[in-house]
Amino acid sequence: MKEFFGKYNGQDIYKFTLKNGQLEVDIITLGGTITDIRFPDKNGQTQSLIAGYKDVEGYLSCDDYRGAILGRVANRIENAKFILNGVEYNLTKNEGENAHHGGKEGFNKKVWEPVDFGNDYLTLFFASPDGDQGFPGRLETIVKYTLNADNSLRIDFNATSDKDTIINLSIHPYFSLNGRGENTDGIILYVDSDKITLNDQNNIPHGEFTDIKNTLYDFRLPKEINGDLSGDKVLYERGFYDNNFVLNGEGLSKAVEMQSKKTGISLQVITDQKGVQIYSGNPIGIAIETQNFPNSVNCKEYPSPILKANDSYNTTTIFAFNNKKD
Ligand code: BGC
């Protein structure tokens, strides 16, 4: 279903509702933003499982990237600059001296064009001009959202550029498995990771890793994400997780699982990405952002974010929901 959602910069913004099995997902053309995911809980009552706003103004007023596509480069680039093929590129700064989630006007603020849709899928397109936010090359991006009959939402990104450039696409839903508007207490988290990128005080890594085995960051044995953080000074002082976990899996594999004891709803995150940023600092929900490592363009130890001219960038993430009966 397609309906008018609002206006931005004189352009019409539409909302698409996709359905399959017990799952329903709303997506708007502003930022390719997922505005709602509805799924029944263990008692058969429909829950909204991500945080959202009711109108365009809400999405424009926020700086929390609620539900939106992150691009061209998700996460942080130190000093908003990098060198590619011997040329220095300067990006728009939107977090102190750094570029965050694509710069001042990232993919979350772009109007995407719906090119194809049906009951259970939607394809959006956006062409970012050469020099947009300082990035080289005209970058054409296609994102396809597909609802599968097993109650999963699959997101396929594809991009090509006419010049060598860098890329790291992600999407930023805040999952509230206890139900929209509820807190995130009692949420159990599993992450298939035994190291994180080592961040400085601005949340920027410089090529190093930290072994997290048997620390508070170790979620290989599932535990409550909002549990007692007093065992780690940095975590305790900050009060939440905001880290890039290095994933152990190869290819399309399970990276994260989360479950609400309250609703019985669980989420599996399956991805071919090498990392996942997990951010629990916003009470509206827990952001699970599959992506390459932060600042990777400036860290030769990390997987390269370079996309060569006319090559194809492809990445897939699946959010699969389940509701356990007691
Ligand atoms: C970042 C957080 C940031 C949040 C909202 C997350 O991806 O890791 O540091 O506060 O996005 O911008």
What is the Cα–Cα distance from 3 to 250, expressed in whole angstroms?
39
Close Cβ partners of 68 (under 8 Å, ≥ 6 residues apart): 31, 32, 33, 59, 107, 108, 171, 172
174 lines ligand 1 (CB under 6 A): no
226 beta partners: none
Contact 145, 18 (CB under 8 A): yes
Percent share of the chain, pLDDT over 90: 98
Which of 113, 262, 105 is CA-nearest to residue 179? Answer: 262
Give the rounded percent of residues in the chain with a pLDDT score beyond 70. Answer: 99
- Whether 171 has a pLDDT exceeding 90, the answer reads yes
Give the active site residues. Answer: 172, 289
Pairing of strands 286-291, 174-175: antiparallel
Predicted pLDDT at 294: 98
pLDDT band per the 50, 70, 90 thresholds, residue 22: very high
Instruction: Give the list of residues 6+ apart from residue 10 with CB closer than 8 angstroms, or none.
Output: none
- Asked whether residue 49 carries a pLDDT value surpassing 90, the answer given is yes
Per-residue pLDDT reduced to its tens digit, 220-267: 999 999 999 999 999 999 999 999 999 999 999 999 999 999 999 999
Ligand 1 atom 12: residue of nearest CA: 64
Write down the pLDDT at residue 325.
60
- Is residue 326 pLDDT above 50, yes or no? no
pLDDT at 62: 86
61-75: average pLDDT:
96
Our answer on whether the CB atom of 203 is closer than 6 Å to any ligand 1 atom is yes
pLDDT of residue 324: 74
